[in-house]
Amino acid sequence: MMKKWILSAAVLLAAIGAAFFLLAEPQENTEYPVKAHSGMNMSQQPKSFKSAVTLSAIGDILIHGRVYNDAKTGSSTYDFKPMIKDVKPLIGKSDITFANQETMIGGTEIGLSTYPSFNSPFEVVDAFQDAGVDIAGIANNHTLDRGEKAILNATDRYDEIGMPYVGGYRNSQDADEPRVINKNGVKLGFLAYTYGTNGIPVPEGKPHLVNLIDKPKMIKDIEEMKKLSDAVIVSMHWGVEYIRLPNEEQQELAKFLADQGVDLVIGHHPHVLQPMEWVEGQNGKKTFVVYSLGNFLSGQVGEYKEIGGIFSVKITKELSKGTKKIEVTEPGFVPTIVVNQNNRAYRVKELKNVDQAQNNAIQEHMFQNLNEEN
């Protein structure tokens, strides 16, 4: 009897102790769950996202002496804003606008100059920024016209006014800095290259001064840019001056860029307009190419050299179930023309307001390949 009582008491004491231990032991914290570290495998579905950005581009800003003399307001001051005021609403209409700054803006410090070795006033880029240009391409055959000093002066001015530039750089560190603009959650990466520099050699050890068309380098640049951006836009200074259709070399380079997965190619150099088209890459993806945007502001006249325009597209980014899709749609083009009165009063105007019949012909010229596809 005594043994049973002792055994029962022991069991009771053990039960009481266990209950006390359980009450004293911290319970699982359900109010403040532990956050997962980045290395943990969590089955969380990515959020869906869709956004779009509009992009515009204009052609060659080629400032001849007769143009900057018309813009002169003082002994060393210039104002180009009146020249583009009529098309200012169109230039700044898109979310982002790209321009081909054909002549270096080295400023008056080193002396202004015209063809064949150009140097332009700082006020050129000031006016175009005021009109809505967000980024300038400076890789072209005139980049080295006035040497390294002009490039350094130009890049200093771009930095001073806060406008990105691409295709020519002050040093290797500057060249390694990717030109990516994030708008509406869509990151656009810009690259720029030129076929050459009018026979002027690139200074030894300074390839950063101008990006030349070099396929191995371009492949590397594009692959790096694809990692940093949603869409890759490449400015190409190519082709033959005053020829209204792309040549075989342009078409071959366009196919090469499409094979690399570039989304948009913007062409310059011919000083006349060349058509737009889709080019299919080796993976089946299509790249939109506008072969030449002609002259936007210059002193050239005749044989379509005074005609340019404002090109535009819509770039849409969509994220769904862990995959990203980029679409380039709604290509548009507004023809423009440079008019003057005896080398004075230079103005860029919508072509339809000057010559409706020619405006219609230019539209047909630019869209001829797209119309054939439809």
The answer to whether residues 171 and 135 touch, using CB atoms and an 8 Å cutoff, is no
Q: What is the pLDDT of residue 239?
A: 98
pLDDT along the chain (374 residues), means of 10: 41 44 39 32 61 98 98 95 98 98 98 98 98 98 98 98 98 98 98 98 98 98 98 98 98 98 98 98 96 98 97 97 94 98 97 98 97 69
Burial environment of residue 122 by CB neighbours within 10 A (0 to 12, 13 to 18, 19 or more): buried
Q: Could you tell me whether strands 49-62 and 231-237 are parallel, antiparallel, or unpaired per DSSP bridges?
A: unpaired
| Sign of the torsion formed by the C-alpha atoms of 211, 216, 220 and 225 | positive
CATH number at residue 348: 3.60.21.10
| Partner residues linked to 192 by β-bridges | 235
Would you say 310 and 350 are in contact if contact means Cβ atoms under 8 Å apart?
Answer: no
Within a domain: residue 24? no
Please give the single-letter amino acid code of residue 306: E
Residue 150 lies in a domain: yes
Task: Tell me the HSE value of 340 on the side-chain side, using a 13 A CA sphere.
Answer: 21
Q: What phi, psi does 77 have (nearest 5°)?
A: -125, 150
Domain that holds residue 85: 49-373
Q: Which amino acid is at 355?
A: D
Kindly state whether residue 32 falls inside one of the protein's structural domains: no
Strand 231-237 and strand 186-194: the pairing is parallel
Whole-number Å distance between alpha carbons of 235 and 210: 13
Residue 7 lies in a domain: no
- The number of folded domains in the chain is 1
Task: Give Rg (Cα) of the chain.
Answer: 30
- Hey, is 113 helix, strand or coil? strand
* pTM listed for this prediction: 0.87
Q: What is the predicted pLDDT for the residue at 321?
A: 85
Of 328, 277, 333, 288, whose CA–CA distance to 310 is shortest?
A: 333
Rama region for 310: left / alpha / beta (φ>0; ψ in -120 to 50; rest): beta
Beta strands at 323-341 and 231-237: parallel, antiparallel or unpaired: unpaired
Listed in sequence order, the DSSP H helices in 113-214 are 123-131, 147-161, 172-176
Is 12 within the bounds of a domain? no
Q: Helix and strand tally (H, E) in the chain?
A: 10, 14
Is residue 348, in this structure, part of any structural domain at all?
A: yes
Where does 194-318 have alpha helices with state H? 215-228, 248-259
The answer to the question of residue 131 being in a domain is: yes
Give the β-pairing of 286-293 and 273-280.
Answer: antiparallel
Is residue 367 domain-resident? yes
